[in-house]
Amino acid sequence: MGGRDKGLVDWQGEPLIAHVHRAVRPLSDDLVISCNRNQAAYRAYADQWVGDAEADFPGPLAGVIAGLKVARHAWVVLLACDAPLVDRDLIEDLLRLAVAGNSAAMVRQGGFWQPMFSVLPKRVLPVLEQAWAAGERSLQKALLREAVQGLECAESDRRLSNFNSPERLQD
């Protein structure tokens, strides 16, 4: 996105984060956004804000660890800020799967794990911290150290679309 903060890029007249917020807000009174800049701009979309413990923005795993540390509930919904087509049905399906199996649940799309569409039990925090301390930086690999249930979604499922480039904003 040319160095711009993806969550704040406009799509259909609103920042991408506003679309994600609309889907998840009815499901929680504790929305945590992991952001390393522009925290003031995210205030309308979250109850808490966290940043990475390290200054070089080491990736999603660091943000997830920071978010889990402050989360007030036993289950945490993990979503990307640049996935404006995610809907409540998908989130509720993940929640049901996680709670029923008493383990993390993650979307599998076309045979590939999609860790930024997950529901995690807060109790995975020590596992993720251990992975981090051992040098792991991949959120997916760290999560898969624990039992994870897959929610199968079609490759063509638009709800999982990430808007990672200016071209995608034309969709």
pLDDT in tens, 14-28: 999 999 999 999 999
Inter-residue contact 100 to 93 (CB < 8 Å): no
The two most distant CA atoms of the chain are separated, in Å, by: 43
Query: 51: helix, coil or strand?
Result: coil
- Note the pLDDT of residue 56: 64
- Note the pLDDT of residue 154: 96
The single-letter code of the amino acid at 83 is: A
Q: Decide if pLDDT at 53 tops 70.
A: no
pLDDT in tens, 79-137: 999 999 999 999 999 999 999 999 999 999 999 999 999 999 999 999 999 999 999 99
- Domains (range + CATH), the chain: 6-170 (3.90.550.10)
Question: If residue 138 lies in a helix (H) or strand (E), which one and from where to where?
Answer: none
The single residue listed with the structure tokens 């807060």 is 122
- Note the pLDDT of residue 167: 56
Q: Decide if pLDDT at 165 tops 90.
A: no
Q: Which two tokens stand for residue 72?
A: 């007030």
- How sure is the predictor about 32, in pLDDT bands with cuts at 50, 70 and 90? very high
| Eight-state DSSP code of residue 104 | E
- Note the pLDDT of residue 77: 96
- Note the pLDDT of residue 164: 66
- Note the pLDDT of residue 1: 45
Angle in degrees, CA 156, 162, 166, rounded to 5: 120
